């Protein structure tokens, strides 16, 4: 007879193998059919176990290190990591965790020889030592450049924020205060509603009525900063899944939203339908899009997404930075194309959910050199902290900001104004 809870554990290990061994992102794995045979509660548990193991993997490896002579093969290593997280973070009963781990390894023909080692190692784990260890560190390929940009102390603060995960932030369609009162949340200084310890999102009051949508508080800032007006013609240049599009549409602006992903745009159309908001949607490559000019453009450019690790702990384990130079060049091209789509005097909000200055401050500095008459405008928005401002005129938001409230996604945001005569 299989050990109770074995099925979600096995799937969690397969998810870890996919992220760490095949450099696949967790959202792609979750929709690949890997969880099709699980019950809904088992799917939730498998996903949670995988996320927590990825989030705390560095600390789990520190716990395991003294008892491993050699680095185990990946599947075995991931069984050990997951088991340590269950023992130390979740406080699961040791006998159940150890027995399940041994059974998983025994059932694998390639790795069954390691079942004795797994049993011996896990029985030596002392959960009391867990809290004595530092916050999980990012992989070296990312940690080293971030330290170069921010220093060790700041990177350690960001790592602590990544380890804690993220609460649920909502953008209210109308009244944030009323929504917070209904759901028992907090209205943040910038207007988002933050909830702690949320269960099923779609079961929350107001979901079916379209009163709100999920959107990290930092991700909600670019559309607020753009400050679209009723009747203005606005382009959301990389729109899906659509949080910013809905913010823009709620202002009464004439919004055109484009994205290259048909699947993601279907989701955006569904969200617009749920919230009763309207926008013109087009599935196309943003660099190929040309139409009559716009009063304003919002460009949330494709980027490394290094600012979102508190919600997506798979990112630093599925990537190695090899694609970053290509992303930097793509962002340059997209900024140039966005400027070409502006009316004279029009404004562009450029943003990335990245911590890398190459995808933020440096992009803006370079864009100003390429475009005569382009200027950075100061950002004036309620709730913005003074130390978020950067020398070139943008905002640099870090995960460790508002740590006592649950942190923020890392973001860079700038407003660029096109000269009247261009």
**How do the pLDDT tens digits run along the chain, 422 residues long?**
456 689 999 999 999 999 999 999 999 999 999 999 999 999 999 999 999 999 999 999 999 999 999 999 999 999 999 999 999 999 999 999 999 999 999 999 999 999 999 999 999 999 999 999 999 999 999 999 999 999 999 999 999 999 999 999 999 999 999 999 999 999 999 999 999 988 889 999 999 999 999 999 999 999 999 999 999 999 999 998 899 999 999 999 999 999 999 989 999 999 999 999 999 999 999 998 888 899 999 999 999 999 999 999 999 999 999 999 999 999 999 999 999 999 999 999 999 999 999 999 999 999 999 999 999 999 989 999 999 999 999 999 999 999 999 999 999 999 999 998 66
- Written as six digits, the tokens of 346 are 């029009």
Which DSSP letter does residue 389 get? B
**Whole-number Å distance between alpha carbons of 40 and 55:** 23
- Of 132, 163, 180, the one marking the end of a domain is 132
In DSSP terms, 351 is beta-bridged to 300, 413
**Strands 212-214, 168-172: parallel, antiparallel or unpaired by DSSP?**
antiparallel
**Whole-number Å distance between alpha carbons of 207 and 204:** 6
State the CATH number of the domain containing residue 385. 3.40.50.150
What is the CB neighbour count within 10 angstroms for residue 67? 14
DSSP reduced 3-state for 24:
coil
State the CATH number of the domain containing residue 103. 1.10.940.10
Q: What are phi and psi of 297, to 5 degrees?
A: -130, 135
Residue range(s) defining the domain that contains residue 35 = 6-132
**What is the domain count for the chain?**
2
Considering the domain architecture, whether residues 125 and 226 belong to the same structural domain is answered as: no
From the candidates 238, 303, 351, 353, give the one annotated as an active-site residue. 353
**Whole-number Å distance between alpha carbons of 309 and 317:** 10
Question: Catalytic residue at 353?
Answer: yes
Considering the domain architecture, whether residues 123 and 223 belong to the same structural domain is answered as: no
Give the model's pLDDT for residue 422.
65
In DSSP terms, 397 is beta-bridged to 411
- Of 98, 132, 166, the one marking the end of a domain is 132
**Strands 254-259, 233-236: parallel, antiparallel or unpaired by DSSP?**
parallel
Give the model's pLDDT for residue 1.
43
Residue 350 located in a structural domain: yes
Considering the domain architecture, whether residues 230 and 117 belong to the same structural domain is answered as: no
What is the CB neighbour count within 10 angstroms for residue 123? 11
- Of 102, 132, 162, the one marking the end of a domain is 132
CB 400 within 8 A of CB 161: yes
**Whole-number Å distance between alpha carbons of 313 and 47:** 12
- Written as six digits, the tokens of 234 are 């606005």
**Whole-number Å distance between alpha carbons of 138 and 57:** 10
Considering the domain architecture, whether residues 102 and 241 belong to the same structural domain is answered as: no
Considering the domain architecture, whether residues 408 and 260 belong to the same structural domain is answered as: yes
Q: What are phi and psi of 414, to 5 degrees?
A: -145, 150
Tell me which long-range contacts 131-137 makes (C-beta under 8 A, separation of at least 24).
133/59, 133/62, 133/63, 134/59, 135/59, 135/159, 135/160, 135/162, 135/163, 136/55, 136/56, 136/57, 136/58, 136/59, 136/162, 136/163, 137/58
CB burial of 267-291 (b: ≥16 within 10 Å; e: otherwise) equals ebeebbeebebebebeeeebeeeee
Considering the domain architecture, whether residues 88 and 226 belong to the same structural domain is answered as: no
Considering the domain architecture, whether residues 112 and 243 belong to the same structural domain is answered as: no
Question: Would the CA dihedral through 82, 88, 92, 94 be positive or negative?
Answer: positive
- Among 390, 391, 397, 392, CA closest to 412: 397
Residue 56 located in a structural domain: yes
**Whole-number Å distance between alpha carbons of 384 and 169:** 17
Considering the domain architecture, whether residues 248 and 358 belong to the same structural domain is answered as: yes
**Whole-number Å distance between alpha carbons of 196 and 338:** 37
């Amino acid at each position: 007879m299989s050990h109770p809870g074995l099925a979600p554990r096995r799937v969690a290990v397969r998810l870890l193998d996919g992220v760490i061994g095949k450099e696949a992102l967790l959202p792609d794995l979750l929709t690949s059919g890997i969880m099709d045979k699980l019950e809904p509660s088992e799917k939730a548990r498998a996903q949670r176990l995988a996320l927590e193991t990825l989030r705390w993997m560095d600390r789990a490896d520190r716990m395991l290190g003294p008892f491993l002579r050699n680095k185990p093969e990946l599947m075995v290593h991931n069984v050990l990591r997951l088991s340590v997280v269950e023992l130390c973070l979740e406080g699961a009963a040791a006998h159940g965790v150890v027995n399940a781990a041994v059974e998983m390894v025994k059932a694998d023909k390639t790795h069954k020889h390691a079942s004795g080692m797994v049993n011996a190692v896990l029985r030596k784990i002392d959960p009391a030592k867990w809290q004595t260890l530092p916050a999980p560190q990012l992989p070296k390929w990312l940690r080293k450049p971030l330290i170069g940009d921010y220093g060790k102390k700041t990177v350690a603060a960001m790592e602590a924020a990544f380890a804690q995960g993220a609460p649920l932030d909502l953008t209210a369609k109308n009244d944030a205060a009323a929504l917070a009162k209904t759901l028992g949340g907090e209205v943040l200084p910038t207007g988002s509603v933050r909830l702690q310890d949320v269960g099923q999102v779609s079961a929350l009051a107001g979901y079916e009525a379209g009163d709100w949508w999920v959107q990290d508080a930092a991700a909600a800032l670019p559309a607020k900063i753009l400050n679209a007006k009723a009747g203005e013609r606005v382009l959301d240049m990389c729109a899906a899944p659509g949080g910013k599009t809905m913010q823009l549409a709620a202002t009464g602006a004439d919004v055109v939203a484009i994205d290259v992903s048909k699947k993601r745009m279907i989701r955006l159309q569904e969200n617009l339908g749920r919230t009763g908001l309207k926008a013109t949607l087009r599935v196309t490559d943003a660099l190929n899009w040309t139409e009559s000019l716009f009063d304003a453009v919002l460009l949330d450019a494709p980027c490394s997404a290094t600012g979102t690790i508190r919600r997506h702990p798979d990112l630093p384990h599925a990537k190695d930075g090899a694609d970053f130079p290509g992303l930097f060049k793509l962002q340059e091209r997209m900024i140039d194309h966005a400027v070409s789509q502006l009316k004279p005097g029009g404004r562009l909000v450029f943003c990335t959910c990245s911590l890398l200055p190459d995808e933020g401050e440096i992009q803006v500095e370079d864009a100003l050199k390429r475009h005569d008459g382009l200027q950075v405008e100061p950002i004036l928005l309620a709730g913005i902290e003074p130390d978020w401002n950067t020398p070139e005129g943008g905002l640099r938001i870090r995960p460790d900001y508002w740590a006592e409230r649950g942190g923020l996604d890392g973001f860079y945001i700038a407003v660029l104004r096109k000269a009247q005569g261009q």
